[in-house]
Amino acid sequence: MAGSAILYGLLGAVIDGLRAGSLYGLMGLGLTLIFRVAKVPNFAYAEYVTYGAYAAYLAAAASGAGAAGLLAGLAAALAVGALAALVSDEAAFKPLWRRGATPLHLLVASIGVSLVLRYTLLAVSASTAGLLQVALPERSSVVATMGGIVSLETSHLLAIGSAVVLALALHWLFTRTRTGKAMRATASNPVLARVSGINIYNVRRLAWLIGGGLAGLSGFIYSYYYYVDPETGWFMLLWIFAAATMGGFTFYGSIISGIILGLAEQVVSFLANTYLGLSTAYAPVIALAALILVLMYRPEGVIRLEALALKKRV
């Protein structure tokens, strides 16, 4: 392969890595919020992403192509992702929490909720012709090209911009508002928070709604540039947990870790394919290796900018 082609290929891998990494970070944000407030290591979170993507497709298909279809898809993805998260908490996690379930119990319960959501969607989509694989009717469009090979698309800008803006917004919510303080108090000691007059149940509901909405938004962006099937969320679960864990379950940390994972996945797989002939199908090994190394050597997370900032302020 010529040198210029390799450089353009590498640049394309970086741009695609930023988009994929921003998406992993965005998904990790919602998982982080739910974990920090409700203490649920939620495997079902990936299914909220899939439900959001399908809702976006159905709404956009009903509204037609163009901006109207995209807006309808976005609204549907946010609403369905948030609703799926809230319903799963009210039906499964909150009753277990009230009975004193440990994080291990909640983790096992989340696997069960995940299976129910995934195969319910699979059964419904399989019984409806043409819904086993969907994508938004309005596709990501090219904004600029470099060398006629590398393209910068609207989906790149949407994923990166959403991840940065929402990380800032969640940090502001958690550290600068009364609602955020109530969330932190509930996460720290729910009994003391309740005695102090905080409605911990409403705080918990808000956390699940926001977390689910972020998952739905991720599903919307993913279906904007790629195809989605009922197991899409399940296949992304590894990256979601890797981003949140590497980030120490902090908002900025999740975004930065997600971007690092996305860049490593795209760039390393491109170089391995170019120089060693290895298939890009091995890319998930990178996220798995990163997750294992973090759990072995830095289980508290590699990037914990927010926690450090809070500690310094105290």
Q: What amino acid is encoded at 126 in this protein?
A: A
DSSP state of 225: H
E strands, the chain, are: 142-146, 150-153
Buried b (16+ CB within 10 A) or exposed e, 88-111: bbeebbbebbeeebeeeebeebbe
First-to-final CA distance of the chain: 55
Cα–Cα separations (whole angstroms), residue 161 to 145, 168, 170: 19, 11, 14
DSSP state of 35: H
Q: How many domains does the chain have?
A: 1
Distance CA 217, CA 205 (A): 18
SS3 content of the chain, % helix, strand, coil (to 5): 80, 5, 20
Distance CA 129, CA 152 (A): 34
DSSP 256-298: HHHHHHHHHHHHHHHHIIIII---GGGTHHHHHHHHHHHHHH-
Domain limits for position 204: 1-311
* Helix orientation angle between 200-225 and 232-246, rounded to the nearest 10 degrees: 120
Distance CA 157, CA 254 (A): 19
DSSP state of 137: S
Q: Which residues contact 155 (CB under 8 A, 6 or more apart)?
A: 19, 140, 221, 224, 225
Q: What amino acid is encoded at 236 in this protein?
A: M
Name the pTM for this structure: 0.90
Q: Specify the CATH number for the domain of residue 127.
A: 1.10.3470
DSSP state of 2: -
Per-residue pLDDT of the chain (314 residues), as tens digits, is: 566 778 888 898 999 999 999 999 999 999 999 998 998 999 999 999 999 999 999 999 999 778 899 999 999 999 999 999 999 999 999 999 999 899 899 999 999 999 999 999 988 887 776 788 899 998 899 988 887 778 899 999 999 999 999 988 988 888 889 998 898 888 888 889 988 889 999 999 999 999 999 999 999 999 999 999 999 999 899 889 988 888 888 888 888 888 988 888 888 888 888 888 887 777 778 777 877 787 777 766 666 555 545 455 44
Q: What are phi and psi of 304, to 5 degrees?
A: -135, 55
Nearest to 39 by CA among 130, 86, 118, 101: 101
